[in-house]
Amino acid sequence: MVTPSRIALARRRRGMTLAELSEAAGVSLQSLSNYETGRTTPRPGTLARLAATLDFPSAFFSSPDIDELPAEGISWRARSKTPPRVLEAARAAGGLAVQLHEWIEDRFRLPAPDVPTLSKPDPETAAEMVRRRWGLGSAPAPNMIHLLEAHGVRVFSLAPDYAEVDAFAVWQGPVPFVFLNTSKTGERSRFDAAHELGHLVMHGHDRQCTGPAAEKQANDFASAFLMPASSVLGHMPRSPHVDQILQAKTIWKVSAMALTYRLHDLGLLSDWQYRSACAELSKRGYRPAEPVGIRHETSQVLAKVFQGLRTTGVRPHHVAAQLAITVDELNKMLFGLTITAVEGGQSGPASTRGQHLNRV
């Protein structure tokens, strides 16, 4: 039995329109429409052509419906002119990650969600409240992915196909999810993680999580969360020059531009000094990139899961087969950890200390 919604999800995951899939697979447009709506079922030969074109195992299309992410509840951190098909492709990839999460949750006890929803406080206050709740005080934030995972946020990587999408977050029932683009610099990825945490905290399940106002709130939350006012004021002089900014950004592991914005926000840089610092940083290459940046942060939970699976003889290709996806599709969700953490027999780049997962 073919599951119609899976044909549509696989097509959207590849960023294809019905017309494009029709031409690539040699299937009529009307037939494809009927397959996706369930009016008719593709014959085995036709299904095989669709599977090959979409790069999914044939078994994928006969598995149960996937609980897809709600389109209206996603906070997109993406370029303003990002094509809808790219957003839909990223949402489809998120749906596959949720399927993986459910598979993992059936086998491991994951940290319970501990993300408050605070609709009334301003971003600065909300960031301070979350920091107090999580016992961070005014110290620089640790590894952001580890921190989110320790408080029950399920974090997955976005496939590199979607360079226009930096990150997105969504509540799926009581469980918060964050998806991060791994092609960004390590500093910008940390900011993206804090930005999406801001959406989860301030916009929750029922508030507008898109648009300029929501984006500014999430940006201000991220800035305050990563660079607490008391910490910045305690470390930085008034009117710091660019070399001092570049040296200090390593304290909070943020981009030079993000720290410059925070210094201006806290009154340590005047408007003129802020513009001058931004111009100088841009001239030195710090606007599009982060020369001599930090290493990318990766998932601790996923590394531990695949290490635990390895001890029982379960390899990534076994997991992929049970989910009816390719190993390449699986690896794109996992910050590339399946090779380093499992096949190489080592823990890979992610630290695995401080968090213990039990088998169910």
SS3 at position 359: strand
170 has which bridge partners? 177
User: Residue 246 is encoded by which pair of tokens?
Assistant: 């570049």
Residue 113 has a CB neighbour count (10 Å cut-off) of 15
The number of residues making up the chain comes to 360
- Cβ atoms of residues 281 and 287 within 8 Å: yes
User: Of the ranges 197-201, 207-211, 309-313, 336-340, which one carries the lowest mean pLDDT score?
Assistant: 336-340
- Residue 184 and residue 192: Cα distance in Å, rounded? 9
pLDDT tens by residue, 58-85: 999 999 999 889 888 888 887 668 888 9
Which pLDDT value is given to residue 352?
35
- Residue 300 and residue 246: Cα distance in Å, rounded? 29
- Residue 38 and residue 8: Cα distance in Å, rounded? 11
Closest CA to 223 of 251, 195, 247: 195
∠ CA 116-153-335, nearest 5°, is 155
In terms of DSSP bridges, do strands 175-181 and 154-158 run parallel, antiparallel, or are they unpaired? Answer: parallel
Q: Give the start-to-end residue ranges of the domains of the chain.
A: 4-62, 71-226, 229-283, 300-359
pTM, rounded to two decimals: 0.91
Q: Which CATH superfamily is domain 4-62 in?
A: lambda repressor-like DNA-binding domains (1.10.260.40)
Which pLDDT value is given to residue 345?
40
In Å, how far are 209, 292, 316 from 303, measured between CA atoms? 30, 26, 12
- Cβ atoms of residues 108 and 305 within 8 Å: yes
Q: One-letter amino acid identity for 265?
A: D
pLDDT tens by residue, 126-166: 999 999 999 999 999 999 999 999 999 999 999 888 788 99
**Looking at the predicted structure, is the pLDDT value of residue 306 above 60?**
yes
178 has which bridge partners? 155, 169
